[in-house]
A = this chain, B = another copy of it.
Amino acid sequence: MSLELLDGGAAMAEAAIAAGCRFFTGYPMSPFTGLLEEMSRRLPAAGGVCLNAESEIEGVNMTLGAAAAGARAATGSCGQGIALMQEAIAEAALNETPFVVFNLARNQQDYFQATRGGGWGDYRTITLAPKDVPEAVEHTQLLFHLADKHRAPVMLYGDPLLAQTRVGVDVQPRDFGPLPAKDWVLDGTGGGTGRSRQIWTWAMGKANDPGPGPDGHWRAIADKFDRIAAEEQRHEESMVDDAETVVVAFGTAAKFVEHVVAGLRAEGHRIGWFRPVTLWPFPGAALRRATTGARNVLVFELNAGQMLDDVRIHAADRDAVRFVGGVSIAESGLSYGPLLDAPAIRERILGGAT
C-alpha cells in the first residue's frame, strides 16, 4: 500500500482512470473544477482524451457520443451546470448510453436534482453520495461498473468538502465482477450489412428490423429501473437496533452525524444513524427496518428538506419523521454555512429527539 495525498478531485481522477475511464469532458465550476484540471493533466498520459468542453451541454453530449462509441466516459459539473445537462442525462437513460456524471455540488440543495432528474420521461439516475474521499475513490470505480452493468448514466453527488479535502489515499483498480458484453456499441462497421446499429431514444429500429418503438422501449426502461431499484440499494447504519432516535443523513453531512451520534450514544442516549449510500435507489426497505421501533426519525440534510420526502415514504412510522436540517450557505455562496459543524448538529439532534 502506498498512500498519496490527494484532494477529492485528484483522487476521483485517479480512481476514474483506474476504472478505465478514457474520455472526459468538463467545464469549470467550483468545486468541480479541480477534477477537470486533474483529468486534463492525468488522462492524456493514460491514453485518454480530456476535452475542455465549451459548455456543459456540449460536454455532456460529447460524453454521450464517446460512450455510444464504446468508451468508458464521464463528465461533471455542479448546480446550474448539472441543470443544463438534464436533457442529455435523461436522453442517455432512455437510449441506454452509460457514463458517469460527477456532480460536485456546492452543497446539499441539489438532492432532488440528482434523484428526481428534471430531464424528461420515466428515468432514474443511480446516485452515490460518498461521505469522504476514500469512499469517493471506491464509488467512482463502482459507478463505472454500474453504468456498464445497467447501460445507464449514473451520478456521484459530492460537495466542496469532498472535492477539496486532501487525504492520504491508495487508489487501486477494483474488480466488481463480470459485465455484459458491449455488443450494442456503435463502431461504424454495421454499414451496408443490413444489420447496421442504432442508438435511438425512441427505439424505432430500422425499416428491415423494427424496434420496440417508444411504448415498448419506455416500458422496458421503466422495468429496468424497477430492477435496478430492487438490486442496487446500498446503505450503512449503526446502533439502530435499540434506538429511540434514528438520524438519517447522506454524504458529508452523514459523516458529521455519525460523529455526533457516536458521541451521544457514548453519553447514554439511545440513538443510532442511518445513511443512504445510494440516494437513488433509496434504501427504503433497510430504512424501514432500521426505524422500526424508533420514536424519532430525524432527517439532517443541508437544504430545505429534500431527502425528507424519501424518508417519509419509507420510515417505519411516517409520523415519527422530523426535519432537523436546514439551508446553510457560506457567505461566498460556494460552500456550507455554520450548520455543517458537529456542535451545531448535536444541538439540532438533541432538539429533535424529544
Where the two chains meet, the residues of A that have a C-beta atom closer than 8 Å to any C-beta of B are 78-80, 82-84, 86-87, 90-91, 105, 109-110, 112-113, 116-122, 202, 213-215, 218-219, 222, 225-226, 303-304, 306, 309, 312-313, 318, 326-331, 333, 337
Q: How long is the Cα–Cα vector from A86 to B80 in the complex, in angstroms?
A: 9
Q: Which residue of B lies closest to A84 (CB)?
A: B87
A218: B residues at CB distance < 8 A: 109, 327, 329
Give chain B residues whose Cβ lies under 8 Å from the Cβ of A225. Answer: 304
Query: Is A202 within 8 A of B333, CB to CB?
Result: yes
Q: Which of B79, B118, B202, B304 contacts A112 (CB 8 A)?
A: B118
| Shortest distance from the beta carbon of A303 to any chain B beta carbon, whole Å | 5
Least CB distance from A75 to B in Å reads: 16
Nearest-Cβ distance from residue A211 to partner chain B, whole angstroms? 12
**A118 and B83 in contact, given A222-B304, A318-B318 (Cβ under 8 angstroms):** yes
Smallest Cβ-Cβ distance to A218: which chain B residue: B327
List of B residues within 8 angstroms of A313 by Cβ: 309, 312-313, 318
Known contacts A219-B326, A318-B318, A329-B218; is-contact A120 B80 (Cβ 8 Å): yes
A147 to chain B, nearest CB (A): 20
B122 adjacent to A303 (CB under 8 Å): yes
Decide yes or no: A333 and B113 within 8 Å by CB, A86-B118, A303-B122, A327-B222 being known contacts.
no
Bound form: Cα–Cα A44–B336 in Å = 47
B contact residues around A202 at 8 Å (CB) = 333
- Kindly report which residue of chain B lies nearest to residue A56, judged by CB atoms: B87
Contact B112 A117 (CB under 8 A): yes
A122 CA to B86 CA, complexed, in Å = 17
A80: which B residues are within 8 A, CB to CB?
Answer: 87, 90-91, 119-120
Contact of A122 (CB < 8 Å), options: B117, B122, B222, B306: B306
Interchain CB contact under 8 A, A333 and B109: no
Q: Are A118 and B121 also in contact (CB < 8 A) when A80-B87, A215-B331 are?
A: no
A304 to B229, CA, bound (A): 13
B116 touches A109 (CB 8 A): no
Question: When the two chains form their complex, are residues A327 and B118 in contact, meaning their CB atoms are under 8 A apart?
Answer: no
Which of A215, A306, A331 is most buried by chain B, counting CB atoms within 10 A of its CB? A215
Contact (Cβ within 8 A) A79 B215: no
- Interface residue from B78, B86, B330, B333 paired with A86 (Cβ < 8 Å): B86
CA distance A313 to B121 in the complex (A): 22
- Pairs across A and B, CB under 8 Å, 26 listed: A79-B120, A79-B121, A80-B120, A82-B120, A83-B86, A83-B118, A83-B119, A84-B86, A109-B218, A110-B121, A113-B116, A113-B119, A116-B117, A117-B118, A122-B303, A122-B304, A214-B330, A215-B328, A215-B331, A222-B304, A222-B326, A225-B304, A226-B304, A309-B309, A313-B318, A318-B318
Query: How many angstroms from the CA of A337 to the CA of B222 in the assembled complex?
Result: 15
Residue of chain B at shortest CB distance from A223: B304
Chain B residues contacting A331 (CB-CB under 8 Å) are 213-215
Q: How far is B116's CA from A314's CA once the two chains are assembled, in angstroms?
A: 18
Contacts of A219 in B (CB 8 A): 326-327
Residues of B within 8 A of A119 (CB): 80, 83, 113, 118
